[in-house]
Structure 1
Amino acid sequence: MRRRSRETRPVARPSRHGRHGRQNRSPVVRPPLPPLDTRIERFDIAVSTAAEFLRSAWSDLRDVSFEVGIMPPAATGAIPRWQVLREQKRIILYRIPIERLGHPHIDDDLHRRMMIEGAVFRAAAEYLDRDPWDLGPERFRFF
């Protein structure tokens, strides 16, 4: 029989554990999540950037409110994609008809955004009683 020595050896613990086995835990809060990027948010951003461009280029549009609606009121015949209310200085763009009835020739984010911006330009042109190409000729110079 072997005798044990009175000398005690320290217990080897993995380096990640402290005295009570709880040191260096993972953080309670996870790293920040990427921002939400939904179809609705992309639509709102495309409308707002096009509206800001038009407001900066045309003084007649500075006081006009560009709004996003989900669906137009019940209509017979063609479904409107926007509504122009000159007396109230409002342009309402309807998200679902623009997204569902517009068919970009290439289905990617860039072409969907261009389709939305085109609807904003056409609605603003209707408000101003002009051709949409007159609103931003420099913007479309390379297309």
Structure 2
Amino acid sequence: MLKGFRDFILRGNVVDLAVAVIIGAAFAAITASVTADIITPFIAAIVGAPDFSNLVVHVPTLRHVVPPSPLPAGYIPPGELHVGKFLNAIINFLINAAAIYFLIVMPMKYVMERFNKPAEAAPTTKTCPQCISEIPLEATRCKFCTQPV
């Protein structure tokens, strides 16, 4: 029973998957930082808003809700739509998708095309030295000039 578990854990693809998850989490932190610290302030400078994460749309509520006391972490009052956080998440996703596509998918596609190249077919004809016509490899005489080959 434990031997089967050990074999499962030490299989190459399980270890590769674990490494990929760890690197993916680190990469997610980098792209979140790029979004929050570089792209969002750049776009905000153009648009004039200081930060997208503070971009909130207020909608009217049908009834009054008393907020809980003390407020829990991440509490969003009724009638507030945090559009800026959603925009940051979209930008993060696009950065991740672009990085994965251009750094992993395209190079792997190129490598797979190089490895899966069809083998060149063996030649089935040869050239007659006298009349320079194409004749079958098995031919002993040229069918055009009757020269022995």
TM-score, length basis structure 2: 0.25
TM-score, L = length of structure 1: 0.26
Question: Which entry has the higher C-alpha Rg, 1 or 2?
Answer: 2
Higher normalized helix content (fraction of residues):
2
